[in-house]
Structure 1
Amino acid sequence: MQNSRLRKDLNTEQLLFVNSELERKGKKKSTAYLLWFFLGNFGAHRFYVGDVIQGILMLLTLGLFGIWTLIDAFLLYYRIEDINAQIEHEAIMTIGNK
């Protein structure tokens, strides 16, 4: 997404709104990785980021005995980045529609 380009056109008040929306709705990497570390085989980190179907599958298969869980250690960072970028984009678009 082109959030950085869109952010350049915002004033201070609008930037504060976008940042507050991101803080309110965004996902924290630290929380996701703590869930992954302690409850990863049960898919808790997947539920946290909104991937309910994958969370249920991980819960039923115990993360394919740790293999899926280990792979998620590398993919989780990018998933959270995508989610937060989408939230930021939606907040910027909300400002544009006002």
Structure 2
Amino acid sequence: MTQSVQNDTHSTLVGYILWIFGFMGAHRFYFGKTISGLIWFFTGGLLLVGWIVDLFLIPGMDSEADRRFSKGELDYTVGWILLTFLGVFGLHRFYMGKWVTGLLYLCTVGLLGVGIVYDFLTLNNQIHMENRSRMLA
């Protein structure tokens, strides 16, 4: 078995689905490429040229994310789906066991959106750290 199969933390299929919105950097954020995700967000996927090139780079981004992040109880894809579609309600925070901030997000519409932006930048690392801490416990 290869490393990426043993530690399959991210989904290539989800990456391609998010690529549809890739000019906003969605797939790059999902694979943990925060800086380039921000660049794609502010430049329309490098004026769509980078977005088209990414069509061919997604399998490599998936493999890199599989090597970089730890598999565990929490699934990265579930966390990202909850953040993307229900983040303003804090459901991704409840999923990670962060009840206090989940309630805070629920009562403040994701801290007025600022918390959602923060989580788009850090969700992979939050899940990674939570998975590691649960493995050690």
SS class of match (1:68) = helix
**Scaled by the length of structure 1, what TM-score is found?**
0.63
Consecutive unaligned residues of structure 1, counting only runs of 5 or more, are 1-21, 91-98
Identity of aligned residues (%): 32
Aligned residue runs from structure 1 range 1-98, under 5 A? 26-90=73-137
Q: Which runs of 5+ in 2 are unaligned?
A: 1-69
TM-score under structure 2 length normalisation: 0.46
Give SS of 1:75's match: helix
Mapped to 1, the partners of 2:76 and 2:101 lie a distance apart of 18
* Aligned-residue offset at 1:75: 1.7
> Which range moves more in the overlay, 48-57 or 77-86?
77-86
Higher relative contact order (CA 8 A, sep 6+): 1
SS at match of 2:111: helix
CA distance in 1, matches of 2:85, 2:91: 9
Name segments (4+ residues, structure 1) moved above 6 Å: none
Deviation at 1:65, TM superposition (A): 2.2
Cα shift readout 1:66-87 (whole Å, capped 9, x = no counterpart): 1211111112111111111122
* Mapped partners of 2:130, 2:112: distance in 1: 27
Q: Is the 8 A contact 2:83 2:90 kept in 1?
A: yes
Q: Is the 8 A contact 2:104 2:111 kept in 1?
A: no
Task: Determine which structure has more spread, i.e. the larger CA radius of gyration.
Answer: 1
